[in-house]
Amino acid sequence: MNPSSITPPEHVPAPAALHSARLLIAGDIMLDRYWFGEVSRISPEAPVPVVRVQRREERLGGAANVARNASALGAQTGLMGVVGDDEASAIVERMLKETGTASYLNHDPAISTIIKLRVIGRQQQLLRIDFEEAPSDIVLRDKLSKFNALLPEYDIVVLSDYAKGALVNVAAMIKAARSQGKKVLVDPKGDDFSPYAGASLLTPNRAELQHIVGSWKSEEQLTVKAQNLREELALEALLVTRSEEGMTLYTAASVRHFPAMAREVYDVSGAGDTVIATLASMLGAQVPLEDAVEIANRAGGIVVGKLGTATVTREELFGF
């Protein structure tokens, strides 16, 4: 099914409304590197393919990919996070400027910027190499102070947690944002969701939710477990992304399922980033929650048809 061929929901925001959306995104910042090459033989040194690299690309990853997606939709976007004081951080800053994203990054000279290097041969990912280090306590304290200072300038807060250390103060960030009346959307990670208590909405995928609440054998069991978690964490809503099964939105008033709308699935890298960025942008444009989720579902269906971390444009979603 082609998402672009489906009638859009009733509440489609005008470009001006999207541009009025003000999003502050915080989380783990990454630089995604792609090496594309030709594979024509097996190494004589080991039973592995030899890739002759012909092209290289760099893209924003992690929370930076969330910001990139929100900016592509026209939202006013600011990004917070920790990077090193190195070549990769300079590239991240330059790419953020190109997207129109306001950069509030903290540079930690004690670490290197997180890099995920993917080697692609014949349009298939052959290898991924990660370079990462946790930020220092001093830099994290400075980041929290900067977050509190920036809050009055934004309406929606998105916390993109990849469990790399940038959001160790997430509970304090949620409390500060909610005390100022901001909506807080969280893409969670880990085996304990209690630090996210009090957020407006969480967007775990199926595997992440199962890790927290255990397995289920029916939709009824899933609903009970999801609603119990939503109530336990005092969330306004819980949005579970379920891959080929679509998405399910749990609120106190209802449970609504959104069927998968993907074309041929090519690459799921960064799909969760696109979903939460689109959802936050729509809420910032005053789109009702269920319509915002429907649009985010469409965006997720489009982006999985692209290679690597990618974005969805307003034209792809709405035709303008």
∠ CA 309-288-293, rounded to 5°: 30
Whether the Cβ atoms of residue 309 and residue 32 lie closer than 8 Å to each other: yes
Judge whether 273 counts as a catalytic residue: yes
> What tokens were used for 256?
């609504």
Positive or negative CA dihedral for 157, 160, 166, 172? positive
How many C-beta atoms lie closer than 10 Å to residue 215's C-beta? 9
The secondary structure element, H or E, covering residue 257 is strand 255-258
Q: Where are the alpha helices (DSSP H) in 10-78?
A: 15-20, 63-72
Map residue 159 onto helix, strand or coil: strand
Q: Give the Cα separation of 82 and 208 in Å (integer).
A: 24
The secondary structure element, H or E, covering residue 11 is none
Residue with tokens 């026209």: 74
Give 228's contacts (C-beta < 8 A, 6+ positions apart). Answer: 213
Whether the Cβ atoms of residue 209 and residue 272 lie closer than 8 Å to each other: no
Catalytic residue among 28, 161, 187, 273: 273
3-state helix, strand, coil in the chain (%, to 5): 40, 30, 35
> What tokens were used for 167?
């959001």
Calculate the CA 44 to chain-centre distance: 40
Whether the Cβ atoms of residue 257 and residue 211 lie closer than 8 Å to each other: no
Active site positions, annotated: 273
